[in-house]
Amino acid sequence: DAGVIQSPRHEVTEMGQEVTLRCKPISGHDYLFWYRQTMMRGLELLIYFNNNVPIDDSGMPEDRFSAKMPNASFSTLKIQPSEPRDSAVYFCASSPAFVTEAFFGQGTRLTVV
Amino acid sequence: KNEVEQSPQNLTAQEGEFITINCSYSVGISALHWLQQHPGGGIVSLFMLSSGKKKHGRLIATINIQEKHSSLHITASHPRDSAVYICAVIRIIQGAQKLVFGQGTRLTINP
């Protein structure tokens, strides 16, 4: 398996635009996680899915953020409208269970200008 | 005070030294996760612990649930171990599992 695949690797967008980040988890993993990392706040868990169902989205900063997992092999994180303070690296990870080692994608570096 | 505190925040050592990174937490947890983030930004999951000790190569992780403390040790450190090491605890809050992260320890191993 190629590991967790995220796209794009880098995204630069203007304030107010919609941004969609994509993630392909490792096949067979039941859990998918979206994280955000900033210098100020460090690493934060935004939302996680179990068997394609969102379990806990309490880490999603506000209604401008939404995440979906339409099937076991694909998830999206959408920001609409984007703001400069959303600039961060967004990581996707997958794992066979919650309490096991997770496998991280390479991250998407988002810059909102 | 953060729920998860790591120490030291920065650590510089010479190649070959034995390294210890500490993680203390103030809440009840179900498990603790150690992550490694390389200078290029990629994150690797090292260990998930709920009790005792785990070893993988030169890395050893221990946890003492009663003392609310975990340590990550690196034996015979090497420059390629230079990275940020992040501790995260898993809590159960209102039936949902939550992850709380420490601020990370930046480790630099000089040749």
- B41 to A101: CB separation less than 8 angstroms, yes or no: no
More confident residue, B86 or A99: B86
pLDDT beyond 80 at A101: yes
SS3 B47: strand
Query: How sure is the predictor about A105, in pLDDT bands with cuts at 50, 70 and 90?
Result: very high
- A43 to B88: CB separation less than 8 angstroms, yes or no: yes
- A104 to B44: CB separation less than 8 angstroms, yes or no: yes
- A103 to B45: CB separation less than 8 angstroms, yes or no: yes
Nearest to A99 among B42, B48, B98 (CB): B48
- Average pLDDT of chain A, as a whole number: 94
- Three-state SS string over chain A comes to CCCCEEECCEEEECCCCCEEEEEECCCCCCEEEEEEEECCCEEEEEEEEECCEEEECCCCCCCCEEEEEEECCEEEEEECCCCHHHCEEEEEEEECCCCCCCEECCCEEEEEC
**How far does B79 lie from chain A, in Å, by closest CA?**
22
Query: How sure is the predictor about A1, in pLDDT bands with cuts at 50, 70 and 90?
Result: low
For B62-109, what is each residue's pLDDT tens digit?
A: 999 999 999 999 999 999 999 999 999 998 877 777 888 999 999 999
**How far does B36 lie from chain A, in Å, by closest CA?**
11
Q: B interface toward A at CB cutoff 8 Å?
A: 30-31, 33, 35, 41-48, 50, 86, 88, 90, 96-99, 101-104
Query: How sure is the predictor about B1, in pLDDT bands with cuts at 50, 70 and 90?
Result: low
Stretch B42-68: mean pLDDT, rounded?
Answer: 94
- Average pLDDT of chain B, as a whole number: 93
Question: How many beta-carbon pairs under 8 angstroms link A with B?
Answer: 53
pLDDT beyond 70 at A70: yes
Stretch A68-77: mean pLDDT, rounded?
Answer: 97
**How far does A42 lie from chain B, in Å, by closest CA?**
6
